[in-house]
Homo-oligomer: A and B are copies of this chain.
């Protein structure tokens, strides 16, 4: 499977690239194709160090080229950039491309981590992303509560639940496969994409819990 990662040179993109390169052809995307290719070389070396041989590969390209090629496209970008980035790339994906949004509408204020959709009455991430998609049924919300710090270290085992929302069973299935391939993650399906706000809100909840109670790299689990 070709897994494209928009904003792939960031920490979350790096973590995903390392871990999924064991089974898939990961394409790291950036505005700057050269920077993406350089990151891809670095990640390939790190992945081979961590896992020995990898069955897949890691390459790099500009975001638009990545979008055109991908079977699954991970949007590893900040909430503020959704419109500017997605308007350029989502019209370019093929109709069956599964678009994955881990994007959280969040800001840090004096009271803690807040949800800007509540605080400032802005749209939730899935709505903004969906606006730019032709085949909206292929949007899946996932990976909001993953610890980037742990993800980028491929020898660390994670122990988190990943909340998943999506309308299309097949698309959700594809994302579940990617979740299962990262050891220690468990997929918890919440329902259709319009429930994505519940998953998006879990990140500020988790971060406030972390800071107020001094818990290191926490995750959320349903038990």
Contacts and interface: CB of A to CB of B under 8 A. Distances in A.
Overall SS of chain A's interface: mixed
A213 interface: yes
Given A189-B213, A213-B189, A208 B223 contact: no
Interface size range on A against B: 35 or more
A182 B132 CA distance: 49
Nearest to A192: B111
A159 B161 CA distance: 17
Contacts of A218: 222-223
A204 B198 contact: yes
Interface stretch (A50-58, A77-85, A112-120): A112-120
A194 interface: yes
Interface in A183-214: 188-192, 194-195, 197-199, 201-202, 204-206, 208-210, 212-213
Of A206, A221, A222, which is in contact with the most chain B CB atoms at under 10 Å from its CB? A222
A33 interface: no
Contact of A199 (B111, B118, B205): B205
Contact of A190 (B112, B160, B194, B197): B112
A199 B204 CA distance: 10
23 contacts: A111-B191, A111-B192, A112-B191, A112-B192, A112-B195, A114-B195, A115-B197, A118-B197, A159-B223, A163-B205, A190-B208, A191-B208, A191-B212, A195-B204, A198-B204, A202-B205, A209-B222, A213-B222, A218-B222, A218-B223, A219-B222, A220-B221, A221-B221
Interface of A: 111-112, 114-115, 118, 159-161, 163, 188-192, 194-195, 197-199, 201-202, 204-206, 208-210, 212-213, 215, 218-223
Given A202-B205, A221-B221, 4 more contacts: A111-B195, A190-B209, A209-B222, A218-B223
